[in-house]
Amino acid sequence: DTEVTQTPKHLVMGMTNKKSLKCEQHMGHRAMYWYKQKAKKPPELMFVYSYEKLSINESVPSRFSPECPNSSLLNLHLHALQPEDSALYLCASSQETGATYEQYFGPGTRLTVT
């Protein structure tokens, strides 16, 4: 199984809502990633988890809160978002962090903040 799944596929939320994005992989990968992608732009790295510990936070605002409950799951908790946070949120995993490891991406969650 080389699949990364993400739920939900689409999410519409108000600026005062709290919601969560979920990501799951069963490939035994020990590195997991969150990316944000705006239309016609490349994915931008947000967070990297290595062995369930946060290893990289690319200066992401605190209204985005990542969580890695176990080696297969990655969550992104959302609170008090702004309309400019509307984007495609991509989750990825790789065997380990580092240049030689291929990342497997999920299909993404299309988030709209109203």
Which residues make up the interface to other proteins (CB under 8 A)? 4, 33, 42-45, 48, 56, 88, 90, 92, 97-108, 110
Nearest to other proteins of 71, 104 (CB atom): 104
Nearest to other proteins of 34, 78 (CB atom): 34
Minimal CA–CA distance to 36: which of 93, 111, 98?
111
Shortest reach from residue 19's CB to other proteins, in Å: 20
Shortest reach from residue 108's CB to other proteins, in Å: 6
Identify whether 107 is preceded by a cis peptide bond (ω within 30 of 0): no
Residue 102 class from Cβ within 10 Å (0-12 exposed, 13-18 middle, 19+ buried)? exposed
